[in-house]
Amino acid sequence: MTRFLVVLTDVRPPDGAGRDERTSPERRRQVVGANSREAADRIAGAFMALGMVRAGRQRVKVIAVGRRPRHPVF
């Protein structure tokens, strides 16, 4: 079963270095779990209505967690 996380983060200020989420992730403001993609999209839509997101200072991410590959990798 695939679960989804909806993450509200602060947008990082532009700098010369590349943006690598694994080494320096954006600061999280809110994390909400959902059991279906539809539920995650509804939560993300609610976050996208926030003023800080609309102004471009925060961003919303929907991340699939626990997804199994369709074809086994050998």
- List pLDDT tens digits, range 6-52: 999 998 877 756 677 777 788 899 999 999 999 999 999 999 999 99
What's the pLDDT at 18? 65
What's the pLDDT at 35? 93
Tally Cβ neighbours within 10 Å of residue 44: 19
Beta-sheet strand order (sheet of 3-10): 28-34, 3-10, 58-65
Q: Which two tokens stand for residue 24?
A: 């320096």
pTM of the model: 0.77
DSSP at 68: P
What's the pLDDT at 12? 83
DSSP at 45: H
Dihedral of the alpha carbons of 44, 27, 23, 36, in degrees to the nearest 10: -20
Rounded Cα distance, 30 and 53, in Å:
13
